[in-house]
C-alpha cells in the first residue's frame, strides 16, 4: 500500500477501527475529488442529487413519503460529501452547463 494513499497504516497507536475509518475517509475524499474533476463526473453527481429529489418536496399524502425520504437521503449524503471534501465545487455543480451538441461535431 502506498504511504501517500494510506498515511495512517504505519501508526501502531491507532486502534484498528479508527485506522480503517480514517482510511475510508481519505478514500472517500479522493473519490469525490476525482469525480468532480471531470465533466462526466460532475454530470453524474449533479444528476444523482437532482434525481434523488434533494430540492423537491417529498410529502405526497401517502406511504410513498417514506420511499421519497429514503431516496432523498442518498442525494443529501452526496451533497454533504461534496460540501465537506470539495466545497469550492458546490457553485460549479449547481450551475453546471451541458456542452452544446455542436461542440461534438453534431
Q: Is position 51 within any domain?
A: yes
User: Is residue 5 one of the residues assigned to a domain?
Assistant: no
**pLDDT-derived band at 1, boundaries 50, 70, 90:** very low
1, part of any domain: no
Q: Is residue 3 part of a domain?
A: no
Report the percentage of the chain scoring pLDDT > 70. Answer: 76
At CA 29, angle to CA 92 and CA 46, rounded to 5? 35
pLDDT at position 32 is: 93
Residue 20 is predicted with a pLDDT of 81
Q: Which domain holds residue 77?
A: 16-94
100 pLDDT band (50/70/90 cuts)?
Answer: low
Q: What is the pLDDT of residue 61?
A: 80
**Stated pTM of the model:** 0.68
Number of domains in the chain: 1
User: Is residue 7, in this structure, part of any structural domain at all?
Assistant: no
Quote the pLDDT of residue 88.
93
Amino acid at each position: 500500500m502506498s504511504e501517500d494513499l494510506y498515511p495512517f497504516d504505519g501508526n501502531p497507536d491507532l486502534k484498528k477501527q479508527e485506522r480503517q475509518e480514517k482510511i475510508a475517509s481519505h478514500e472517500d475524499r479522493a473519490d469525490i475529488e476525482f469525480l468532480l474533476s471531470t465533466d462526466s463526473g460532475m454530470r453524474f453527481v449533479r444528476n444523482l442529487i437532482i434525481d434523488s429529489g434533494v430540492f423537491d418536496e417529498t410529502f405526497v399524502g401517502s406511504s410513498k413519503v417514506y420511499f421519497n425520504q429514503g431516496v432523498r437521503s442518498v442525494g443529501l449524503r452526496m451533497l454533504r460529501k461534496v460540501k465537506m471534501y470539495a466545497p469550492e465545487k458546490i457553485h460549479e455543480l449547481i450551475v453546471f452547463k451541458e456542452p452544446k451538441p455542436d461542440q461534438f461535431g453534431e
